[in-house]
Amino acid sequence: MKISREDVLRVAQLAHLDLAPEEVETYRGQLDEILSYVGKLQGLDVSNVEPMALMRPLADGPHQAPRTGAGSDGASAAPGAEPELRDDVVAPCNVADAVLAQAPDAATPFFRVPKVIER
Amino acid sequence: MSTASTWTITSVREALLAKKTSARELAKDFYTRIEGRNPELNAFLALCPERAYAQADLVDAKIAKGQPLGPLAGVPVAIKDVISTEGVKTTCGSKILENYTPPYDATAVERLEKAGAVILGKTNCDEFAMGSSNENSAYGPVRNPVALDRVAGGSSGGSAAAVAAALSVVALGTDTGGSIRQPGAYCGLPAMMPTYGRVSRYGLIAFASSLDRIGPFATNIADATTVMSVIAGHDSNDSTSAAVAVPDYLAEIEKSVAGLRIGVPEDYFGAGLDPEVKAKVQAGIALLEKLGCKRVPLKMPHTDYAIATYYIVATAEASSNLARYDGVRYGLRVQGNTLMEMYRKTRERGFGPEVKRRIMLGTYALSSGYYDAYYLRAQKVRALIARDFADAFEKVDAIITPTAPTPAFKLGEKTADPLEMYLADIYTVTGSLAGVPGISVPCGKTAAGLPIGMQIFGSHFDEGRILQLSHAFERAGGFSI
């Protein structure tokens, strides 16, 4: 067994999920089955492999997947791999009203939530 | 009004220019079809006739004045409900966004409309695109128009069903682990996942940011190609969008495929592959050989690790992306006495079981003490899978595999066992992890009449090549092989 009832409750708490009592056992069994399957990854030797952290596109040409021991920038290690940056100029972004219109409880210009600071 | 049941982008254009119909009349015709067929299929979650007719009238005015038309002028399209549409409800198939109306359009949507497309509405999908059957939608499953007791595939099941049932000419879906290609295969349509970075993700509501891609469903390769040529290209609103020039895809697909090297990885033809699917895909490969392609046997040794890798990487990203649904800024709020209680109650009520399962799996994989064993290891295996592709593309121009191990399964058949459902993605997740483009093209049917899909992977930004192969395959009769 990879995952216990306590693990499920701990993870639910980290993820801000309230689980009904009957959900806890269901998820425990399902997560256990999935994690057991995922356990097949433990059988591979990855000691000399850099993790693929970014899906960074290249400016030209087909991009090379990382080789063993390649740089840590993941999806590409070839020159010209830097993402294109836009000019650093101010652009209008006057969307506050449209955004607040979607809020469950807005008090313009704020989102209202239950009190978080006790006096 | 035309009664042609299957319109294409080309036939719409010809009919409009010949004044055999108007864009408004065409839109009206499609809404009539949707009204008739959607109660059964559940392909659309929302319709936007006001927006559609306004756009159709603009196209009709241009035609009346003899002004130049965009490549999609008057073409009815459907948009998966994880893609933002200004003023049109976008739920992601979730109760947590039941009443959410985006204040802006996704770049892909904006580009379609600029090209003249008429957006009919939003299509059903698995909640937050998490699923392989569309049965995880909070608004009920989609039925496969080819066989109503079967799934349309997922997560973009609504987009696939809408096009397959001729309720839309083309549609946009999204693909994270196979969510365009697999429903395309199940519904008998060409369906394409472009290279990561090729189509802007701006306005695509995130599931797994390093995997999510937007792409088209169509009934033929020329239409899929036209949509690709409209939506592809750099967008400064998406920092992962690639500044790579977009070739003239419509010219590319006319080129001869003779001499192209097609790789056939034995790892995709082993245990678990349905014998009818295997036979048809092998016949498909033989047809490409007849067209002059050179078959190259391949080994892609890390294929077997792809599902395990994918379900760690994707759920880890999802657990982070879905943290934003907390009842504060948009969507559902369930009141609580404290802020934390409000978060927890909102998320408990708003998310369905598969989304909760993935959030928990991803949270677990990222949590202290487990990060190295799960997430970090998965990112390393991901690099090995990407290397399999890079090595293969040194020897071949494209890779051919089945799209899915079986044809469309029955509704309810796999809902009890999440892991069994995940395995439906076994041939598609590899390309998702590697970032390469892939397309599923129809490749005959089973004896029972269920569509089969053949998948073609290309190297990064080589969409033109796989569309070219698909087009040659289509013209040689491969779709009904």
pLDDT-based confidence at residue B3 (cuts at 50, 70, 90): very low
Q: Which of the residues B84, B132, B159, B179 is marked catalytic?
A: B179
Q: Which of B372, B391, B409 is the last residue of a domain?
A: B372
Specify if B317 maps to a domain: no
First-last CA distance in chain A: 47
Q: Which two tokens stand for residue B474?
A: 């289509």
Specify if B314 maps to a domain: no
Q: Which two tokens stand for residue B329?
A: 């800024």
Shared domain check, B388 and B354:
no
What is the average pLDDT across B199-223? Answer: 98
pLDDT at A76: 38
Structure confidence by residue, pLDDT tens digits, B424-441: 899 999 999 999 999 999
pLDDT at A87: 83
pLDDT at B282: 98
List beta partners, residue B78.
B121, B171
Specify if B196 maps to a domain: yes
Question: How high does pLDDT run on average in chain A?
Answer: 79
> Using CA atoms, how far apart are residues B476 and B454, in angstroms rounded to an integer?
15
Shared domain check, B398 and B338:
no
Within 10 Å of residue A54's Cβ, how many Cβ atoms?
A: 15
Shared domain check, B343 and B298:
no
pLDDT at A95: 87
Structure confidence by residue, pLDDT tens digits, B297-313: 999 999 999 999 999 99
What are the start-end ranges of the E strands in A11-112?
106-107, 110-111
Could you give the 3-state DSSP secondary structure of residue B304? helix
Structure confidence by residue, pLDDT tens digits, A1-24: 789 999 999 999 999 999 999 999
Tell me the residues of chain A between 34 and 73 that have a Cβ less than 8 Å away from chain B.
Answer: 34-35, 37-42, 44, 46, 49-60, 62-68
Instruction: Report percent pLDDT > 70 for chain A.
Output: 75
Q: Which two tokens stand for residue B386?
A: 């990407």
Tell me the residues of chain A between 70 and 99 that have a Cβ less than 8 Å away from chain B.
Answer: 74-75, 83-84, 86, 95, 98-99
Choose the closest CB to B383 out of A7, A40, A50.
A50
pLDDT at A48: 93
List beta partners, residue B118.
B76
Specify if B169 maps to a domain: yes
**Cβ-Cβ contacts under 8 Å, B329 against chain A:** 99, 102-103, 111
From edge to edge, which strands make up the β-sheet containing B261-265? Answer: B44-47, B118-123, B76-80, B170-175, B213-217, B191-193, B438-445, B451-457, B398-402, B261-265, B294-298
Query: B213-242 as b/e, with b when 16 or more CB fall inside 10 Å?
Result: bbbbbbbbbbbbbbbbbbbbbbbeebebbb
pLDDT at B131: 96
Structure confidence by residue, pLDDT tens digits, B390-419: 999 999 999 999 999 999 999 999 998 988
pLDDT at B408: 98
pLDDT at A69: 34
pLDDT-based confidence at residue A94 (cuts at 50, 70, 90): confident
Specify if B29 maps to a domain: yes
Shared domain check, B464 and B342:
no
Could you give the 3-state DSSP secondary structure of residue B289? helix
Shared domain check, B164 and B104:
yes
Residue length, chain A? 119
pLDDT at A117: 80
Shared domain check, B265 and B136:
no
What is the average pLDDT across B318-323? Answer: 98
What is the average pLDDT across B200-215? Answer: 98
Q: Quote the distance between the C-alpha of residue B55 and its chain's center.
A: 25
Shared domain check, B76 and B187:
yes
Shared domain check, B141 and B121:
yes
pLDDT at A84: 63
Shared domain check, B404 and B279:
yes
- Which of B242, B244, B230 has its CA nearest to residue B197? B242
Number of H helices, E strands in chain A: 3, 2
Instruction: Report percent pLDDT > 70 for chain B.
Output: 99
Instruction: Report percent pLDDT > 90 for chain B.
Output: 96
> Using CA atoms, how far apart are residues B354 and B98, in angstroms rounded to an integer?
17
Q: Do B222 and B228 meet the contact criterion of CB atoms below 8 Å apart?
A: no
| Domain ranges, ordered by start, for chain A | 5-43
pLDDT-based confidence at residue A68 (cuts at 50, 70, 90): very low
User: CA quadruple B93, B95, B96, B101: dihedral positive or negative?
Assistant: positive
**Secondary structure element (H or E) that encloses residue A9, with its range:** helix A5-14
Residue with structure tokens 């999908």? B125
pLDDT at A91: 85
Alpha helices per DSSP H over B175-220: 181-187
Shared domain check, B395 and B365:
no
Q: Do A64 and B390 meet the contact criterion of CB atoms below 8 Å apart?
A: yes
The domain total for chain B is 3
C-beta atoms of A101 and B307 within 8 A: no
C-beta atoms of B330 and A16 within 8 A: no
pLDDT-based confidence at residue A119 (cuts at 50, 70, 90): low
Our answer to whether residue B414 is catalytic in this structure is no
Residue B471 has pLDDT above 50, yes or no: yes
Residues 6+ apart with CB under 8 A from B196: A55, A57, B210, B211, B213, B240, B435
pLDDT at A56: 59
Shared domain check, B225 and B276:
no
Q: Longest Cα pair distance anywhere in chain A, in angstroms?
A: 61
Specify if B1 maps to a domain: no
* Structural domain boundaries enclosing B354: 322-372
In terms of CA atoms, which chain A residue is nearest residue B350? Answer: A17
A/B interface, count of CB pairs below 8 Å: 197
- CATH assignment at residue B171: 3.90.1300.10
Residues 6+ apart with CB under 8 A from B67: none
C-beta atoms of A114 and B341 within 8 A: yes
pLDDT at A65: 39
What is the average pLDDT across B228-235? Answer: 97
Question: How high does pLDDT run on average in chain B?
Answer: 96
Give the CATH class of A5-43: mainly alpha
Shared domain check, B283 and B225:
no
> Using CA atoms, how far apart are residues B385 and B373, in angstroms rounded to an integer?
18
pLDDT at B211: 97
Residue B263 has pLDDT above 70, yes or no: yes
Residues 6+ apart with CB under 8 A from B118: B23, B26, B27, B52, B55, B56, B59, B74, B75, B76, B77
